[in-house]
Amino acid sequence: MVVVFGTVCLDRVRRVPSLPDPGGYVEILEETLLLGGEAANTARHLASWGVPVGLAGNNLGAGEEGRRLLELLRLAGLPTEHLRADAGETPVCDVYVTPDGDRTMFGKGFSAMDWAAQAESFPVVPGAWFTAEPNMADASRLAARRAAEAGMRTYLMDFVREDEPLQPGGFWQTSTDWAGARDDADGNRRVAEGIARRYRCHAILTDGPNGFCWSPPEGPARLLPTYRCPEVVDSTGAGDAFRAGVLFGLHQGWPVGRALAMGAAAGCLACTRWGASQSIPTLEELRNLQESQTETTDAILSACAAG
């Protein structure tokens, strides 16, 4: 099992020709209401690939939006027994996607999530993987510590404070939206290596089409390529898909290099689909991408296998 703790929300995804200048106007070309949130996105990818998942996090809200969110979770086949839907406001994220696939987000209901989080209510399975993101601040960190103390292996995404509950031998992932800088390979390598040394964990720092850095607990950080994306439609949730791909491999007991290649393929194909979890790439599609771009796959595998 992989236990996913974190944000579960509604995504109102809106396709626009461009973002307006201050005070300007832009017509919305298309709008779709989808299941969203880092935890829900990651759990849905894993579940679609046959991995048993546990899902826990914020209260879904008591009103009509909460009922809609619960319905979307059930339609996705995700477990809901550790999610409350009895109080508060449903988190909703308005996502504006431009033709280059980039997204701009506005949210409501997120600031209160820490109060409603179920940090003590998630499946505890010693030896299984636990993953979280810090949108619920102290609750997410408390849940991560509880999981580690119970003997679970942890994979934490976007935890970038100075006092994070990273576990020796665990995994840390973030993007250049949160650490390092875009198109700064040397600087990003130093960031990843610094995290890996400090916490004795695996550190992953992604930089979109520029590739990603991976640093093992010992040894130098490596700059790894990512797969060429056939068409960028919407980059929403690409990091969640990357995380799910790596976790899929780790759950299978794969070597780190093979798991990272799976993550890179999942993040790439996520950008070719509308919404973060509406259309999940199949395992066959992920294998086909890796086999069609063997130079990238081989580069990742050989770099991770080296000393």
The pair of structure tokens assigned to 292 is 């069609």
- Residue range 205-227: average pLDDT? 95
pLDDT tens digits, 68-80: 999 999 999 999 9
- Residue range 140-166: average pLDDT? 96
- Residue range 106-111: average pLDDT? 91
pLDDT score, position 151: 97
pLDDT score, position 234: 78
Q: What are phi and psi of 232, to 5 degrees?
A: -85, 115
Give dist(CA 39, CA 58) in Å, integer: 10
Give 214-221's long-range contacts (Cβ < 8 A, gap of 24+). Answer: 214/256, 214/260, 214/303, 214/304, 215/189, 216/256, 217/168, 217/169, 219/307, 220/189, 220/193, 221/189, 221/190, 221/192, 221/193, 221/196
Domains of the chain: 2-305 (3.40.1190.20)
Statement: residue 276 has pLDDT above 70: no
pLDDT score, position 116: 62
pLDDT score, position 117: 64
Confidence class for position 220, pLDDT limits 50, 70, 90: very high
Exposed, middle or buried, 27 (CB in 10 Å: 0-12/13-18/19+)? Answer: exposed
